[in-house]
Amino acid sequence: MSEDLLQVENLGRSFGAFTALKGITASFGQNRVTAVIGPNGAGKSTFFNILSGALRPSTGSMRFMGREIGGTPQHRFVHLGIARSYQITNVFPQLSAHENVRIGAQAFRSRYNIWTPRASFHDVSAKAEQALADVGLGASRNRLASSLAHGEQRALEIAIALVADPKLLLLDEPTAGMGPEETKAMVALIERLAAGRTILLVEHKMKMILGLSDRVLVLHHGQLIADGTPAEIQADPDVRSVYLGQSHGYA
Ligand SMILES: Nc1ncnc2c1ncn2[C@@H]1O[C@H](COP(=O)(O)OP(=O)(O)OP(=O)(O)O)[C@@H](O)[C@H]1O
Ligand SMILES: [Mg+2]
């Protein structure tokens, strides 16, 4: 088995006549942070939707831990060890932080039925507590999700993803809508989570990406136009020309 956790080859996706993603070939090793960047509409979320099973690829293959997963149903992905958070905050506002995570944990343990021993429920509850503590929300367990600050809600989403103990964590714009302080806290969280996990994140904040990532992939019009270290990407003339005149420049 290859030491890479995930390998994609010639991965693509069309919507009718429109090709949103085309010919993506890349491998992802264990325990690294890779940023996926690119202008609006470049195909970043489409790429993540495919990697998390929400969309079937139109072309190509994807291997996770040496096994083809391209045709796997979406609900199996979390069991494979792939979990994600969404570009738009996605929590139940009228439930507490703990309830939000516990529901995620129970959905993951979908084999539950009325004969499930009580101890297993304690197990789920303990997993939820641990996930909340991991993202720094242990003290906020009983607060309604709607009463949490925006940054805390994003952390809560990550806690929900963590209960499955994913090997691959996909974060789609985890700092979207955050100010500098919340962004700093999210960067610290991602750094903590990166120990022992492979993380792919979509981001627009260039400074953050360059500081946090081991590697950067650049998508443009659905194609992978660059793949390298942050320093290589910064120096890449194709990347520079794509970002020239963009609102999300190298600020
Ligand atoms: N379900 C769909 N049906 C039709 N077109 C789609 C669908 N999903 C995405 N697209 C199109 O595919 C292209 C890539 O979209 P995607 O959401 O992957 O971009 P993105 O890089 O995540 O952009 P952003 O930075 O704005 O989030 C866009 O032109 C989008 O309109
Ligand atoms: Mg997107």
Q: Per-residue pLDDT for 202 more than 50? A: yes
Check if 42 has its Cβ closer than 6 Å to any atom of ligand 1: yes
Name the pLDDT band for 251 (thresholds 50, 70, 90): very low
Q: Which is the closest atom of ligand 1 to the Cα of 173?
A: 27
Last residue of a domain, one of 165, 199, 214: 165
Say yes or no: 50 and 104 in one domain: no
Tell me, in angstroms, the distance from the centre of ligand 1 to residue 96's CA: 32
Q: Does 26 share its domain with 36?
A: yes
- Read off the pLDDT of each residue in 106-113 and give the average, rounded to a whole number: 61
Most confident of 1-15, 74-88, 208-222: 208-222
Find the mean pLDDT for residues 88-106: 88
Ligand 1 closest atom vs CA 18? 5
**Quick one: average pLDDT of 31-45?**
94
Task: Kindly tell me if the per-residue pLDDT of 1 is higher than 50.
Answer: no
Q: What's the pLDDT at 83?
A: 93
Q: Is the pLDDT of residue 249 over 60?
A: no
Indicate the number of domains in the chain.
Answer: 2
Residues 182 and 224 in one domain: yes
Instruction: Give the chain's mean pLDDT.
Output: 89
Looking at the fold, whether 170 and 250 belong to one and the same domain comes out as yes
With a 6 Å cutoff on the Cβ, whether 84 touches ligand 1 is: no
Please give the order of strands across the beta sheet that includes 18-28.
18-28, 6-15, 59-64, 67-68
> Span 183-202, mean pLDDT?
94
What's the CA-to-centroid distance between 188 and ligand 1, angstroms? 29
Pocket probe mutation, ligand 1, options 21, 36, 46, 49, max atoms within 8 Å of Cβ:
46
- What pTM was computed for the model? 0.90
238 shares a domain with 134: no
User: Do 122 and 171 belong to one domain?
Assistant: no
Give the pLDDT mean for 73-101: 90
For residues 14 and 68, state if they share a domain: yes
Decide which of 112, 132, 165 is a domain's last residue.
165
> Looking at residue 135, what is its pLDDT?
95
Q: Is the pLDDT assigned to residue 245 strictly greater than 70?
A: no
Does ligand 1 come within 6 angstroms of the Cβ of 43? yes
Rounded Cα distance, 23 and 150, in Å: 36
| Ligand 1 in reach of 97 Cβ (< 6 A) | no
**CATH number for the domain including 185?**
3.40.50.300
pLDDT at residue number 114:
54
Residues 159 and 170 in one domain: no
Ligand 1 atom 5: the closest Cα is on which residue? 15
Please give the span between the terminal C-alpha atoms of the chain, in angstroms, as a whole number. 41
Report the candidate in 210, 201, 208 with the shortest Cα–Cα distance to residue 236.
210
Question: What is the predicted pLDDT for the residue at 105?
Answer: 78
Q: How far is the CA of 38 from the centre of ligand 2 (A)?
A: 9
Shared domain check, 127 and 103 = yes
Quick one: 161 and 176 in the same domain?
no
**CB-CB contact of 21 with 47 (8 Å):** yes
**At 224, which amino acid appears?**
L
Q: Which atom of ligand 1 is nearest to the CA of 219?
A: 21
- Judgement on whether residues 69 and 96 belong to the same structural domain of the protein: no
Q: Are residues 149 and 174 in the same domain?
A: no
- Tens digit of each residue's pLDDT (9 = 90 or more) over 124-176: 888 899 999 999 999 999 999 999 999 999 999 999 999 888 999 999 999 99
Q: With a cut of 80, say whether residue 185 has pLDDT above it.
A: yes
Q: Is the CB of 46 under 6 A from ligand 1?
A: yes
Chain Cα centroid distance, residue 107? 18
Domain hosting 117: range is 90-165
Residue 104 Cα to ligand 2 midpoint, Å, equals 23
Ligand lying closest to the C-alpha of residue 219: 1
- Is 237's pLDDT higher than 90? yes
The residue out of 119, 142, 165 marking a domain boundary is 165
d(CA 143, CA 166): 25
What integer is the mean pLDDT of 216-242? Answer: 94
pLDDT greater than 90 at residue 14? yes
